[in-house]
Structure 1
Amino acid sequence: MGAIDLLFEALQLVLREASLFAAFGFVVLGIGDLVIDAAWLMLAIRRAFRPNDRPRVATNLPPARQPGRFAVFVPAWDEAEVIGGMLRHALAAFGGGDYRIYVGCYPNDPATIAAVRAVADPRVRLVVGPSAGPTSKADCLNRLWARMIADETAEGFRFKAVVLHDAEDIVHSAELPLFDSLIERFDLVQLPVVPLIDRRSRWIGGHYLDEFAEAHGKEMVVRAALRVGLPSAGVGCALDRDALAAIAAARGAPFDPDSLTEDYELGLRFREAGRTATFVRLPAANGRAVVATKGYFPTSLDAAVAQKARWMSGIALSGWDRLGWRGGLAERWMRLRDRQSVIAALLLAAAYLAILCGGLLALVGLGTEREMQPFSDTFLLLATLATGLLLWRLAVRFFFVARDHGWREAWRSPFRAMVGNAIAILAAVRALSRYNAHRRTGHSIWDKTAHAFPAQVPAE
């Protein structure tokens, strides 16, 4: 057998095995997605036939029985370009509400410190820690918590809740009244996150728009209905002050500085402690968009890969070690879904490898009598099911993107899915490296990306 024959046989072997592995995995994951789709559809039908069960707009929420003061935590490392615009917009949006914005900075970041001081508003409290940055985001949040507690002691009052935001966030004017009402019933209240469209990055930045439209339009809605652990997005999230204090008392600080994804873990630990949580997707008023946190996401390939790698390493890998598999069947299933991103990336890599091998086989066999061995009936069945599930998945995403962002963006979503797949594969490789490094050192360093804040804030 010649070298060409050996190559042909090797390519066929890789093609068959990679194709079978990918097809089987996609069917398994696709079935799980179908269950979530069905659960969301049942909730939508129930709401359509029982419209009075829940308020349809934020203005219909009952007013807070005991209106309280909110502490807004904004950790900031190397955010001089955005923090000033974010704070000015937040002050204008929140208006005369009862709140204080705590901004955490580092002594070796004078540009960000100067940008915060330039805002010059008594409702903004600059907190400069003793350690040079960056430490971890959780460490910065813990310093804000300590300063908040010190202010309570010195001034003789207690905050009602802590609200988490990032330095590039565009907050909503209806956010604090909504939190004021619902935090009396729930210990954690999470709003949707809506990525802004950067016209210079329709494909890399735009793929976040598609993913969040589905995740925060369907997945989080189902999780809240199932009353399982609700992961915090780290922004647009209100945490009951006393519930957070109980977490702090149990482990010395409310946020774990050794966690790669402290916001995600905090939501699940609230559930383990018996705390309640909800995901709220309500329009501000009739005919208005939902109350949500908006912001730009990474627009370059490297930045997107780095961010996705942090999420994968913290949720799918480190989260397995740190949080385990506690809870009932629904809770364990949701944790499995949270941790399947690395497996999904591996399946995608296998599928693209199979496509590559198929193309090489066609070239190697060109002009010869070599023929590929036929695929088994089992594989053909799995491939048919996987293809059907893929088309359904793209249709579901199309629906959610069209609902939130219009038809033009929806038509882009199937093509952006390929961009998202490539980013996921690259991110999985980096996530494994990051996870191994974290296991060796046991410490987490703030791995942030450059942020942008719009010159003109979009209408709510």
Structure 2
Amino acid sequence: MDGAELIFAVAGFVMHEAMLFAACGFLLLGAGDILVDFIWIGRTAKRALMRGGSAAADTLPVPERPGLLAVFVPAWDEAKVIGGMLRATLDRFDHPDYRVYVGTYPNDPATIAAVEAIQDERVRLVIGPVPGPTTKADCLNRLWDALIADERAEGRTAKAIVLHDAEDVVHPAELRVFDRLIESFDLVQLPVLPIVDRGTTTVSASYADEFAESHGKELVVREAIGAGIPSAGVGCAFSREALAEVAARSGGRPFAADSLTEDYELGLKLHALGRRGAFVRLPATGGGRVVATKEYFPGTIEAAVNQKSRWIVGIALSGWDRLGWSGGPAECWMRLRDRQSLLAAVLLFTAYLTLLLWMLLEARLTLTGVPQPPIPEQLALLMQINLALLVWRLAMRFGFVTQAYGWRQGLASIPRVIVANLIAMLAARKAVSRYLRIRRTGAMQWDKTTHAFPAELPAE
């Protein structure tokens, strides 16, 4: 056997082994996805049959206990967006009693100046005691301290704490929704919808695809099976009482300053304490658009990889260390799904490697007439099952994206899966390196994305 024949023989062996590994892995993950899909279908059908009329934000009853809603907006190096965000927020919010707490750092004068330029008594500028960046959770804790100080000075306690980022486009009706539903739940999470417009890149549109499905199905299923609702960190409200309990158990700080995904952890902590959470998809008016938070997401591969690697570290790696596997079967299943991103990335890499090797062997067939080694019947059957699962997965993605953005974006979401896969693989690789560095050095700081705020606000 000469050198070329040896290379092709090794390529054929590696291709078959990689194909088997990827096929088994995708079958395992696909089975979990199918189960989630069927639970969602059953839940949706049940609600459609039992619902007497369409609920909407404008039909919610008046809150029984009116109170202050404190909106926390952490801001590090956000001078380009914070001014526009605050002006739009103050103009849009339809609620009589709220205050926006903006957290900044003494070494970020541009952001401080942008906040100071918004001369409105409903905006409270909070400058932290140490230079930034620290972590987002640390900044949120400074806002919590400022709220506590204001409560003591004014002699009243806030009803709820609402979280938003400096680039968020808020919905006019969201505070009314929070004000009413926080009386029944300790966490209320609204959908997050990435903005898709003419300037949207394929990368940022891939976020829209993922959020349309996760906030249209995954969180609905978590609530249906009794698992904890993780906070998205924006478009969500916590009851003041629940945050106070978490703070009392954590040295006076409700947000985990040593976590990269403090919002995700907080939702699960509240569930572990027996606190109720709800994911709420509610139209503003009957037949209208859903009440949701909108924002631009990263538009480049580099920025998306950086952001998603932080999510993987915080949820799949550090989250495993910090939260473990507590809770019942439903909770453990959802945590397993949250942490399967690394396995999924390995499977994707293996699948693309298999495709490249198959193309190499097909080229050999074309050039020399030497056929590829045959694929065993069992493996061929496994591949056919996975193909059917892929078609189902793409159909579900199309449906959710179409519901959120229209059929054109629904169709575009199918080829965008390739871009999302590339980002997932690169992010997983970076996440492992990042996690090992944190474990080795203990250093952790706010590694944020550069944000943009729309010049023309999207219609609600």
Q: Does the alignment reach a TM-score above 0.5?
A: yes
Q: How does 1:424-435 map to 2 (within 5 A)?
A: 424-435=424-435
Residue by residue over 1:59-117, the C-alpha shift from the partner in whole angstroms, topping out at 9 and shown as x without a partner, is: 22222111111110000001001000100111111145201100000111111000000
AA of the residue aligned to 1:99: Y
1:324 aligns with 2:324: yes
**Aligned equivalent of 1:285:** 285
CA deviation after TM superposition for structure 1 residue 441, in Å = 2.6
**Aligned equivalent of 2:83:** 84
- Identity of matched residues, %: 58
**Aligned equivalent of 1:18:** 18
AA of the residue aligned to 1:119: I
Partner SS, residue 203 of structure 2: coil
Q: Quote the Cα distance in structure 1 between the aligned partners of 2:385 and 2:363.
A: 28
CA deviation after TM superposition for structure 1 residue 227, in Å = 2.0
Instruction: Please tell me whether the aligned partners of residues 138 and 257 of structure 2 are also in contact (alpha carbons under 8 angstroms).
Output: yes
Q: Quote the Cα distance in structure 1 between the aligned partners of 2:323 and 2:181.
A: 27
Q: Quote the Cα distance in structure 2 between the aligned partners of 1:91 and 1:240.
A: 22
Partner SS, residue 65 of structure 2: coil
Partner SS, residue 71 of structure 1: strand
Distance 1:96 1:367, change over 3 A: closer
Q: Quote the Cα distance in structure 1 between the aligned partners of 2:384 and 2:40.
A: 25
Instruction: Please tell me whether the aligned partners of residues 195 and 294 of structure 2 are also in contact (alpha carbons under 8 angstroms).
Output: yes
Q: Quote the Cα distance in structure 2 between the aligned partners of 1:367 and 1:411.
A: 37
Q: Quote the Cα distance in structure 2 between the aligned partners of 1:96 and 1:163.
A: 13
Instruction: Please tell me whether the aligned partners of residues 103 and 127 of structure 2 are also in contact (alpha carbons under 8 angstroms).
Output: yes
CA deviation after TM superposition for structure 1 residue 376, in Å = 1.2
Structure 1 unmatched runs, 5+: none
Q: Number of paired residues?
A: 459
Q: Quote the Cα distance in structure 2 between the aligned partners of 1:222 and 1:363.
A: 46
1:417 aligns with 2:417: yes
AA of the residue aligned to 2:301: L
Q: Quote the Cα distance in structure 1 between the aligned partners of 2:192 and 2:126.
A: 26
**Aligned equivalent of 1:243:** 242
Q: Quote the Cα distance in structure 2 between the aligned partners of 1:15 and 1:412.
A: 30
**Aligned equivalent of 1:351:** 351
Q: Quote the Cα distance in structure 2 between the aligned partners of 1:348 and 1:426.
A: 11
Q: How does 1:32-431 map to 2 (within 5 A)?
A: 32-52=32-52, 56-252=55-251, 253-431=253-431
Instruction: Please tell me whether the aligned partners of residues 198 and 206 of structure 1 are also in contact (alpha carbons under 8 angstroms).
Output: no
Partner SS, residue 91 of structure 1: helix
Partner SS, residue 285 of structure 2: coil
Q: Quote the Cα distance in structure 2 between the aligned partners of 1:190 and 1:255.
A: 17
Residue by residue over 1:372-399, the C-alpha shift from the partner in whole angstroms, topping out at 9 and shown as x without a partner, is: 2111122111111111000000000101
TM, length-normalised to structure 1 = 0.98
Structure 2 unmatched runs, 5+: none
AA of the residue aligned to 2:406: G
Q: Quote the Cα distance in structure 2 between the aligned partners of 1:435 and 1:247.
A: 26
Partner SS, residue 454 of structure 2: coil
Deviates more, 1:417-426 or 1:371-380: 371-380
Q: Quote the Cα distance in structure 2 between the aligned partners of 1:186 and 1:79.
A: 32
Instruction: Please tell me whether the aligned partners of residues 257 and 444 of structure 1 are also in contact (alpha carbons under 8 angstroms).
Output: no
Instruction: Please tell me whether the aligned partners of residues 162 and 239 of structure 1 are also in contact (alpha carbons under 8 angstroms).
Output: yes
Q: Quote the Cα distance in structure 2 between the aligned partners of 1:105 and 1:279.
A: 29
Residue by residue over 1:242-286, the C-alpha shift from the partner in whole angstroms, topping out at 9 and shown as x without a partner, is: 110110010111001111111001100111111110000010001
Deviates more, 1:64-73 or 1:441-450: 441-450
